[in-house]
Copies of this chain bind each other. A is one copy, B any other.
Amino acid sequence: MNMEFEMEHNKLRIGIVGGTGYSGAELLRILIAHPGVQLDVVTSRGEAGQLIADFFPAFRGLLDLSFSDPAQVDLGGCDLVFFATPNGTAMQQVPALLDQGIKVIDLAADFRLRDAGLWSQWYAMEHACPELLAEAVYGLTEVNREAIRKARLVANPGCYPTAVSLGFLPLLEAGVVNSQGLIADVISGTSGAGRKLTASLLHAEVSESISAYSASGHRHQPEIVSFLETVSGRSIGLTFVPHMAPMIRGIHATLYAPLTEPDADIQAIFEQRFDSEPFVDVMPPGSHPRTQSVRGANTCRIPWHRPGNGETLVVLVAEDNLVKGAAGQAVQNMNLMLGFDEAAGLGGIGF
């Protein structure tokens, strides 16, 4: 292949801390083709010095950059830095970056909760910079668009919270369901668990099998509750059970809510909330989205059902956990923070 790598000096410079996981790889895939930025630094503890395109052959001929050692790297030349690291890493480095005037988007959980005590309880460590929790903007673009434009620090939502929050939000804002009786039954592909070396993620363990996990309590439950309470001003009662399915990408959420306003026009509520949104597709009522239809796309598809015309409303949400659920939404937020068109680089069509 004929590679042409010219430094384009009018492009903004991007750093990625933690470039070998699935979110990091998806960031690379999107940013390589982004018209307004160039990758400046990509770090990896384990692969420092290796050509990124050797580690990810999908990028052969497209990216002439090696992984940097995070202990030695200088991110000072970056306009914006993404953290695609395990929980607890970003909070060690973010204050210094912000001090240098560098914008930050954290794809991990370090800045998703406003309450440092609650955070410590679920993540089993002290928070390194609790003073930033109030400043960090929760990066669900459809809700916090204007704040994100001005933000120095964005906490990119978890993959589950993105799907669950977008599905419940219009109903809570409209006040047509009982916010105390919400149930979110969600199924994820295996990339959602990250590139971790645990036996439970081996192909021979995952394939031909379904199971729930963390059914007694998962870290994304308080994240969803905190966010929905903040946005809706209501007290939220949510039961959240995640499942793992034998597919690489995709999240399918089936949301149950007790309908308190039986005459509400549910379709109108969803359409009014999302019709100007470029990445939320309100489907016709009674539809069933397949996660295949959003694979590789930054789109979230949402239809609803009311079985037997009864009191339980069922909302279905499909997204790609690595795109709208992680790297895609992160780039959507980056576009706002850096003044690009919100959809720049996010034209991927599901297949």
Chain A interfacial positions (CB closer than 8 Å to B): 1-2, 22, 25-26, 29, 32-33, 56-62, 183, 185, 187, 189-191, 195, 197-199, 201-213, 215-217, 221, 237, 239-241, 243, 245-250, 252, 254, 256, 274-283, 286, 288-297, 299, 301, 305-308, 310, 312, 314, 316, 318, 347, 349-351
Contacts and interface: CB of A to CB of B under 8 A. Distances in A.
Nearest to A300: B1
21 contacts: A2-B275, A25-B351, A29-B351, A58-B297, A190-B202, A197-B199, A201-B203, A202-B202, A203-B248, A205-B292, A207-B246, A208-B249, A209-B292, A210-B245, A210-B290, A211-B318, A215-B288, A216-B307, A243-B254, A296-B296, A296-B351
B205 A206 contact: no
Q: Which one of A59, A187, A275, A299 has the greatest number of beta carbons of chain B within 10 Å? A: A187
Nearest to A197: B197
Given A185-B185, A203-B202, A252-B243, A350 B58 contact: yes
Given A215-B307, A349-B32, A243 B201 contact: no
Contacts of A293: 56-58, 60
B254 A289 contact: no
A291 B190 contact: no
A241 B254 contact: yes
Nearest to A316: B212
A187 B286 contact: no
> How many chain copies?
4
B204 A22 contact: yes
B250 A210 contact: yes
A213 B280 CA distance: 21
A256 B281 contact: no
Contact of A210 (B187, B203, B275, B279): B187
A197 B252 CA distance: 25
A279 B299 CA distance: 28
Q: Which one of A189, A204, A301 has the greatest number of beta carbons of chain B within 10 Å? A: A204
A295 B51 CA distance: 21
Q: Which one of A237, A243, A276 has the greatest number of beta carbons of chain B within 10 Å? A: A243
A168 to B, nearest CB: 15
A246 B243 contact: no
A276 B237 CA distance: 37
A350 to B, nearest CB: 4
Nearest to A323: B351
A210 B250 CA distance: 8
Nearest to A294: B58
Contacts of A306: 216
B202 A351 contact: no
Nearest to A308: B217
